[in-house]
Chains A and B, each alone.
Chain A
Amino acid sequence: SQQGEEDPQALSIQEGENATMNCSYKTSINNLQWYRQNSGRGLVHLILIRSNEREKHSGRLRVTLDTSKKSSSLLITASRAADTASYFCATDGDSNYQLIWGAGTKLIIKP
């Protein structure tokens, strides 16, 4: 079953602008992860934020987590054409290390 919901479903911005995607989930979690999927490819892990963390950075990525609102956001700064992809949040709240996935945000970077 899908727990996460990404917002927006699709986002189109100019190269160089910042892109923000949001994820909401329903149950308690151990951590939340963001993955990227290029067209026709598998998913690639980007960043993990634990339930006791509020913000995390990795290069041009910034993730925030608000467990009281059961939501997370992914910010990509200074976007590049290569950032064009679908972005998925996945939550891990299970002892079997299963991830529950959202439906994804499709990001298009226009040159």
Chain B
Amino acid sequence: EAGVAQSPRYKIIEKRQSVAFWCNPISGHATLYWYQQILGQGPKLLIQFQNNGVVDDSQLPKDRFSAERLKGVDSTLKIQPAKLEDSAVYLCASREAGTIQYFGAGTRLSVL
């Protein structure tokens, strides 16, 4: 069974530029999560999808971050414009049933 796929693995941009991350969850997993993980910290939930609907986006900075999961499968997370403090690893996870989440390898973003 293929795992959660994320791309790109690394991205370096300058502040005020835009960036997009892509996630393909495990086939059949209805729930998808995007997390932000700053170095030395645990993951912070940004947004949770159930199929193509948003369950929780209370911690998503909506003035600059957006996310979509149009067909209930793949998802994209966008930052526009990026700030220095957005430098982090962005993790995508998916869940089928139960409570265990399966993670992709993440995208490491550096904002200069």
Contacts and interface: CB of A to CB of B under 8 A. Distances in A.
Binding partners A and B: yes
A8 to B, nearest CB: 14
Interface string A1-34: 0101000000000000000000000000011010
A103 interface: yes
A92 B95 CA distance: 13
Main secondary structure of the interface of B (DSSP, over half): strand
Interface in A88-105: 88, 90, 92, 96-99, 101-104
B48 A101 contact: no
B108 A40 contact: yes
Name which of B43, B48, B104 has the most chain A CB atoms within 10 A of its CB: B43
Contacts of B55: 96
Given A2-B42, A102-B42, A103-B41, A92 B106 contact: no
A81 interface: no
Given A97-B31, A97-B95, A103-B41, A42 B4 contact: yes
B65 interface: no
B92 to A, nearest CB: 8
B105 A98 contact: no
A43 interface: yes
Contacts of B102: 45
Interface of A: 2, 4, 30-31, 33, 40-45, 48, 88, 90, 92, 96-99, 101-104
